Structure 1
Amino acid sequence: MAIKRVGILGAGKVGIVLAGLALNAGYEVRISGSGAQKKIDLTIETLVPGAIAGINKDVVENSDVVILAIPLSRYKNIDPSLLKGKLVIDAMNYWWETDGIREEVLNPDETSSEQVQDYFKDATIAKTFNHMGYHNLQDEARPKDHPRRKALFVTGNDKAAVETIAEFVETMGFDQVVHYKLSDGIMTEPGSPLFGASLTHEELKNIIDNFADTDFGKQVLASGMTFN
């Protein structure tokens, strides 16, 4: 599927940065946020001129891919039927300062993205854009073959969807390390070796491969346990 229109749910720091990258890459961008619509309109007009501000329904209906860039604790505020049939990028992380007590937000027996997929059961979820800080996302996007280009981890259960998202990440200015198992997204959650890291493709792949070869890594990946 060719992506031409990008929808972003969340007008916080990550959402704004991703909107800017998508605009620079030539996509039509729509973005929604919480709070008064006039305030959201002003924020979008000021920080990402060219993006179209709207409510969730309009953003989703007019997008080929939808990025979830809201606090993780709020994803269930979205009606799951809204994303039915949609290709969705989960760019969210649990963060205690924003989300509160982890056990009140997440089941400890599944990764966050698996729980997001369970909730949006009629959407196709892929995980990316979540392990690199928003400042790095904004400042370190580079053209293909640039010697200092950084990489993002992309994973999901649907191979075709993951490859579509990987191509999208490519156009946004980053190389990709690709897996085809949504639960592998645990390697990018807070507390993992990758969280907050800004790495080249080789560096990122080496960390993932080394982690997967450790006893702890094998236990984490086999069980779906979460990092503390």
Structure 2
Amino acid sequence: MTTTIGIIGAGEVGSQIARAAVSVGYQVVIANSRGPETLAGLVAELGPAARAASAAQAAAAGDFAVVAVPLKIVNDMPVDELAGKIVLDTNNYMVWRDGNIPVLDSGEKTVHELRQEQLPTSKVAKAFTHIQAPRLLTAGRPAGAPDRLALSVSSNFPDAVALVTRLYDQFGFDTVDNSPLSESWRSGPGQPAWLRHAHQNRDELIVNLRKARRVIPG
């Protein structure tokens, strides 16, 4: 039985994850903020394994979901449709784009812990956050290849980590488990794992995650 991924967000990250997913046999239901009709070109490119829908419809259709849009202070994700599902959050906190969020600036919480709070009946995993989206289609290598890159995953739920690990492997990447979500800052913008994203295998990513240093303003 084919697995369906509901993808909310059809920008560079969401569209590249959709392309990679279709290439390894997944069905995709993808949504953006402007309406399904604006995704006709992308869906035509992706082929019969993909269709466009609203965010709520994509969430409902997916066996699991990918959220490829920035977090808003007031939740704008379909909580009910995502209930009981694993949700891969690809967002990074960017002050220049998102504005200052005090609870994140203080280090009290990570952006992915906030996403988990906004989706309390889902199992959130931070995924795909420290790789340039186009490289999902070009940088993958077979398991055991000497130049295989690694990506991190963070979650409070082991089954979510297992799902992301399987998906990474299908896309051609190794996995480093950087759980729980409270540790997800270690692969965030400016940290060694982020800066070395294009050049780190599994052992190197483990080291870079350990090198992370939290800088709290003020």
Task: Please classify the TM superposition score into its range, dividing by the shorter chain length.
Answer: 0.7 to 0.9
2:146 is the alignment partner of 1:143: no
- Provide runs of 4+ in structure 1 moved above 4 Å: 104-107, 225-228
> What residue in structure 2 maps to residue 18 of structure 1?
17
**1:73 and 2:48 equivalent?**
no
The residue that corresponds to 2:90 in the other structure is 91
8 Å contact kept, 1:191–1:227: no
Give the 3-state SS of the residue equivalent to 2:114 in structure 1: helix
8 Å contact from structure 1 (residues 152, 174) kept in 2: yes
Rounded to whole Å, the distance in 1 between the matches of 2:91 and 2:57 is 21
Contact 1:66 1:87 in 2 (8 A): yes
Structure 2 partner of 1:29:
28
Contact 1:3-1:65 within 8 A present in 2 as well = no
Which has the higher mean CA deviation after the structures are superposed, 29-38 or 118-127? 29-38
Q: Does 1:205 align with 2:203?
A: no
Query: In the alignment, what sits opposite 1:55?
Result: 54
Return the alpha-carbon distance in structure 2 between the equivalents of residues 226 and 131 of structure 1: 21
Q: Which amino acid aligns with 2:210?
A: D
Offset of residue 65 of structure 1: 1.2
User: Percent identity, aligned pairs only?
Assistant: 28
Q: Residue 39 of structure 1 aligns to a residue in which SS? A: helix
Please list the CA deviations of residues 201-227 of structure 1 after superposition, one character each: whole Å capped at 9, or x if unmatched.
12111212344xxxxx4xx4xxxx768
Matched, 1:182 2:187: no
Check 1:37–1:63 CA distance in 2 against 1; reply closer, same or farther (3 A cut): closer
Once the two structures are superposed, residues 173-199 of structure 1 have per-residue CA deviations (whole angstroms, 9 ceiling, x without a partner) of 210011331111101111222225222
Give the whole-Å Cα distance in 1 for the aligned partners of 2:207 and 2:169.
Answer: 20
| 1:104 positional shift | 7.0
- Secondary structure (helix, strand or coil) at the match of 1:144 reads coil
Cα separation, partners in 2 of 1:226 and 1:169, compared to 1, 3 Å: farther
Structure 1 residue 167: deviation in Å?
Answer: 1.4
Contact preservation (8 Å) 1:67, 1:90 = yes
C-alpha distance in 1 between matches for 2:34 and 2:123: 27
1:139 counterpart SS class: coil
SS of 1:154's equivalent in the other structure is: strand
**SS across alignment from 1:126:** strand
Give the superposition deviation at 1:130: 0.6
Tell me if the contact between 1:85 and 1:122 (Cα under 8 Å) persists in the aligned partners: yes
* Structure 1 residues without counterparts, runs of 5 or longer: 212-216
TM-score for the superposition, normalised by structure 2: 0.87
Q: Quick one: distance in 1 between partners of 2:35 and 2:208?
A: 43
What letter matches 1:207 in structure 2?
Answer: N
**1:214 corresponding residue in structure 2:** none
Query: Which one-letter code corresponds to 1:45 in the other structure?
Result: A
Indicate conservation of the 8 Å contact 2:2/2:25, yes or no: no
> For the Cα contact (< 8 Å) 1:73–1:94, is it kept in 2?
no
2:128 aligned partner: 129
The amino acid across from 2:156 in the alignment is N
Q: How many matched pairs?
A: 214
Query: Does the C-alpha gap of structure 1 residues 105 and 182 become closer, same or farther in structure 2, counting only changes over 3 Å?
Result: closer
Name the counterpart of 1:102.
Answer: 100
CA distance in 2, matches of 1:129, 1:169: 9
> CA offset at residue 140 of structure 1?
0.6
Residue 95 (structure 1) shift? 2.2
Residue identity opposite 2:206 in structure 1? K
